Amino acid sequence: MANNTGEMPVMEHLEELRRVLIVSIISTTIMAVVAYFFCDRILAVLLEPLTKLDQKVYFTGITEAVFVKIKLSFFAGFIAALPVILWQVWSFIVPALKKNERVYFTLFVFISFICFFGGVIFGFLGVFRMGVMFLLQFAGPELFPMLTIDKYISFTISFLLPFGLVFEFPLISFILARLGLLSYSFLAKNRRYAILVIVLISAMITPTPDIITCLIVSGPIYLLFEFSALIVRVVERRLARKKQREELAGLV
């Protein structure tokens, strides 16, 4: 129960956080069970870069294939349950919402999911497939890959998740701008450093050492940066106009 100052006690904060975690885990588990029945189709899509090159994938342990399907099911279940998870997280961060803010709140959750899902799709279709095929062909005719399914799926998941997180940057920028923690002048002033950071991040998350793949990844991420800067600028102008109206209303 809130105290007289309207603040929630620490124990209620912890209880609310516990509820968020439980709901998120349960929703992910339910969607993972559903995704398990489609695991073969998902696996076929992820193995497409290898099957196009007639590469075979092996498993070295009796239970390896089963655990790989479980791991893949939870990855797919996490993405499918992401709207529920984001809803829970936003509910915890913003405990009190006005009526006119609930529409924006729902929109934020939807956009968060679209951004994350779009980042994962871009990472797979735009970078991962090309990178895997390049690396396998780079070995030459003398070397023959012996790929295990566990390492391949683990590499795929660890590669795609950062793309989903990077594509959340515009939404995060909007929230920080609304809170007054991020300004357009700061982004414009540090644009050159942002480009350097983007190239470094692209080099780390791309599986290939060639500069072409790195630039392919850097391009969309830089566009996300400019789009985020534009969002921050629009938010600042709206907040400035709102402040002017409030000052005029105070004078009247």
Domain extents for the chain? 1-160, 168-252
Beta strands in the chain (DSSP E): 57-58, 147-148
d(CA 223, CA 238): 23
Residue with tokens 């092996």: 58
pLDDT at 204: 80
Question: Which of 139, 130, 238, 141 minimizes the C-alpha distance to 184?
Answer: 238
What is the pLDDT at residue 43?
A: 93
Largest CA distance in the chain: 83
| Closest among 123, 114, 129 to 46, alpha carbons compared | 129
Could you tell me the pTM of the whole model? 0.76
Distance separating alpha carbons of residues 159 and 210, to the nearest angstrom: 17
CA-based torsion, 92, 94, 96, 101: positive or negative: negative
- Segments of the chain with pLDDT less than 50: 1-6
| 8-state DSSP, 5 | T
Q: Give pLDDT, residue 28.
A: 94
